[in-house]
Amino acid sequence: MLRLYDTRHRQVEPILPVGARALRMYTCGPTVYRYAHLGNLRSYLFADLIRRVAERQGVRAMVCQNITDVGHLADDAEIDPLGEDKVLAQARAEGRSALEIARFYEDAFRRDTGALNLRVPERTPRATETIDLMIELIIKLLEKGHAYKGPDGSVFFSAESFASYGEISGNRLDALHPGHRVGGVDPRKRFHADWALWKPAHRDLTWDTPWGRGFPGWHIECSAMSLAFLGEHVDVHTGGIDLRFPHHEDERAQTDSAVGHEVVRHWAHGEHLLFDGRKMAKSTGNVVLLSDVTDAGLDPLAVRLALMEHRYRQQMNLTWDTLHAADRTLNRWRSKVAEWAESPSKPIATDSAPAIQSAFNDDLDTPQALRLLRALERDPAIPPGSKFETFLHFDHLLGLDLSSEIGRIPVLPPGAAELIDQRSRARTAEDWPESDRLRDALAELGVKVADTPDGQTWTR
């Protein structure tokens, strides 16, 4: 069974009980006011890999991924961030309505995730369409004494009412200092670490509530959506490491306080992505989009392959050289699979397949899985038909469309595939006369072979 590093428990552990047949997973979705960059997309690949591995083990996945199209402020780093709604700010900058901005970038996000072969979640609720769920949850928190009203129509969560706050990030309430704010600590708060569940405002995208007109705070939407669409027991909650605090700490406090028990069994986070040695962020000026990759002539799935070269919870430094290398590997593997498809079918490589599957199960050790597949590719003792079946078997997890070249390359004449395989073994054994003899035999069949650093290739 798949095991992951649980951020709250500080250890690798199975994400499902033995015999479980369903996986309920919540993954924090995009704030749709700009294009997602490769660092953002790495987090969604992480969730996709969890789902694919679980489904390969016969587990039915139910995934909920929110769309934040209101309420997310400009500075997420503060416990109760001050600033302007990102969607509204972008709408003003582009001269469009807030909903036009939100739908435009939501569509762009779906195109990018589709290009990366990320499975579509069963539920993708939008914040603007689930305000009633948030209001109901806030009312419940008020009734249970975990929230209080401000004098101006605001509502705050009482951080001190949740005794285990800080178990995910290690940021305990007694060690937290007030955030930077003009005029000092917000006078509406009873405690400086309290955060807003509802903010009063008269602007676009506001709603009426029993305590006044306004819009939701950032954290409340994920609590409301996970409870509504996944229920009171969630197996795993994923997101980028930057969401660990304050977002996931606040979300856990809200959700558990409303229900009265621990809702999420496992919290799992993907690490930051660097590009050319710097964190990928708008502020550093090195944001790389998926469109930048395709504009450079690379397959978008080269990004998927490159990201899997590092484990999800390792900080990764991506470069253009890395992406070009991944693109070459992707093209080579597709050509190889198409070539192996012409050979007689053989069973999956029993010596390699269990180890590859074990790597995926072991905290998504994708680098080890890729190393084992490369070794399998080069192993002359494994028949081409067996390589074909093994690569396609694991492409259900890799998601690289490795079968896409089948039928697009010339078909080998009868007997040629066996001669190519024999020549590969001869070259491994450094039997050069036999290698030359087989080259000539292939030429008589109309097949030209060439030797490259990545192995031999052929053309008709």
Q: Could you tell me if residue 275 is inside a domain?
A: no
Residue 183 has pLDDT above 80, yes or no: no
Q: Do residue 387 and residue 422 come from a single domain?
A: no
**Average confidence (pLDDT) over 239-257:** 96
The first and second tokens of residue 444, run together, are 């008589």
Cβ contact 449:420 at 8 Å: yes
Q: Is the pLDDT reported for residue 7 higher than 90?
A: yes
* 311 lies in the same domain as 170: no
| pLDDT band at residue 455 using 50, 70 and 90 as cut-offs | confident
On whether 251 is known to bind a ligand per the annotation, the reply is: yes
The residues near 437 (Cβ < 8 Å, ≥ 6 apart) are none
pLDDT at residue 157 is higher than 50:
yes
Range of the domain at 394: 282-409
Within a domain: residue 259? yes
Residues 6+ apart with CB under 8 A from 259: 227, 232
Domain finish residue from 383, 409, 435? 409
CA distance 30 to 358: 31
- Cβ pair 264, 236 in contact under 8 A: yes
Whether 186 and 244 map to the same domain: the answer is: yes
What number is the average pLDDT over the span 211-234? 95
| 3-state SS assignment for residue 27 | strand
Instruction: Tell whether residue 282 is among the known ligand binding residues.
Output: yes
pLDDT for 74 equals 45
Instruction: Output the pLDDT for position 286.
Output: 84
Q: Give the domain-ending residue among 394, 409, 424.
A: 409
Residue 239, helix vs strand vs coil = strand
Whether residue 406 contacts residue 338, with contact meaning beta carbons closer than 8 Å, is answered with yes
Choose between 459 and 376: higher pLDDT: 376
In a shared domain, residues 244 and 301? no
Distance (Å, whole) CA 460 – CA 458: 7
What amino acid is encoded at 125 in this protein? P
Q: 308 or 173, which is more confident?
A: 308
pLDDT for 12 equals 98
Among 116, 130, 163, residue whose Cα is nearest residue 398: 116
pLDDT at 77: 40
Provide the 8-state DSSP code for 70: S
Q: Evaluate whether 33 touches 105 at the Cβ level (below 8 Å).
A: yes
**Does the annotation flag 247 for ligand binding?**
yes
In terms of average pLDDT, the best of 82-86, 171-175, 279-283, 385-389 is: 385-389
Residue 45 and residue 27 in one domain: yes
Residue 159 within a domain: yes
276 assigned to some structural domain: no
348-374 pLDDT, tens digit each: 999 999 999 999 999 999 999 999 999
Say if 46 falls within a structural domain. Answer: yes
Answer yes or no: is pLDDT of 78 > 70: no
Pairwise pLDDT comparison (364 vs 408), residue with the higher score: 364
Query: For residue 75, is pLDDT > 50?
Result: no
38 pLDDT band (50/70/90 cuts)? very high
Residue 277 lies in a domain: no
Together in a domain, 375 and 435: no
**CATH code for the domain in which residue 252 is found:** 3.40.50.620
Give the rounded percent of residues in the chain with a pLDDT score beyond 90: 74
pLDDT at 56: 94
Query: What average pLDDT does this structure show over 123-146?
Result: 98
Same domain, 404 and 419: no
Whether residue 94 is found in the same domain as residue 200 = yes
- Shared-domain flag, residues 150 and 184: yes
CB atoms within 10 A of CB 433: 8
Q: 450 and 403: one domain?
A: no
The residue among 211, 239, 270 that closes a domain is: 270
| Inside any domain, residue 161 | yes
Q: Are residues 305 and 210 in the same domain?
A: no
Residues 289 and 244 in one domain: no
Q: Is 37 annotated as a binding residue?
A: no
Residue 32 lies in a domain: yes
Q: Does 393 appear as a known binding residue?
A: no
How many other C-beta atoms lie within 10 A of the C-beta of residue 317? 13
Question: How much is the pTM?
Answer: 0.87
Percent of the chain predicted with pLDDT > 70: 95
4: β partners: 13
**What pLDDT is attached to residue 116?**
98
* pLDDT band at 80; cut points 50, 70, 90: very low
Q: How many domains does the chain have?
A: 3
